[in-house]
Each structure stands twice: as structure tokens, then as C-alpha cells.
Amino acid sequence: MAHIAVRELRNNTRQVLDRVDAGETITITVDGRPAAELRKLNTRPRFVTREWFVATFATTWTGDDDLAGDNLAAEIRSLAPDTTDDLPWR
């Protein structure tokens, strides 16, 4: 893990963020003491292709039993928990 002074972060912000984006974790120091840590965020894609969706859920939901729809709905909720399903209709 690399350590850089806050001054270097201020003067070379873009280069430091490029290093973080490449997967490096960097500790920011103030007066030689560790103050913060920069690391790449674990992000997931906001949108998926139709092909990925079908390939992922074709094996999960067969439609052969009564619970298949509930299983699919639960799986979709786990992938996209932020929905508007609870908002009232106008």
C-alpha cells in the first residue's frame, strides 16, 4: 500500500486517482500520520444486456412450479433493491 502526503494529493489529484482506478490502495498522510485511505469502489453495472439477463435467469426460473415466479421476483429484488414498487399509483 502506497502512502502519499496530502500536498501530493492536492497537486497531483488526477494522477493519484488514476492509480486508484487501476486498483491501487493509497493511504493519505497529514504531517506523516495516516489520515485517510483511497481505494477503488466496488461498482456494479447499472444496466445489463438482454443476453446476460436471459443467461442468468434462464437457469433460475423454469416456470414449472408455482414458486418459480416468487423466486424470480426475489432474485430481481436482490439485484435491484431500489424500486418504486412501494409508491402509490396516481
Which of the 8 DSSP states describes residue 65? S
Per-residue pLDDT at 85 exceeds 80? no
For 12, phi and psi rounded to 5 degrees? -130, 45
How many Å apart are CA 41 and CA 27, to the nearest integer? 15
Per-residue pLDDT at 6 exceeds 60? yes
Per-residue pLDDT at 4 exceeds 70? yes
**Which pLDDT belongs to residue 56?**
77
- Domain locations in the chain as residue ranges: 2-38, 50-79
What are the tens digits of pLDDT across the range 36-74?
A: 999 998 777 778 888 887 777 766 555 555 555 567 777
Q: State which CATH number among 3.40.50.880, 3.40.190.10, 3.65.10.10, 3.40.1620.10 fits the domain covering 2-38.
A: 3.40.1620.10
Q: Please state, rounded to an integer, the average pLDDT across all residues of the chain.
A: 80
**Which pLDDT belongs to residue 74?**
75
**Which pLDDT belongs to residue 46?**
75
**Which pLDDT belongs to residue 18?**
95
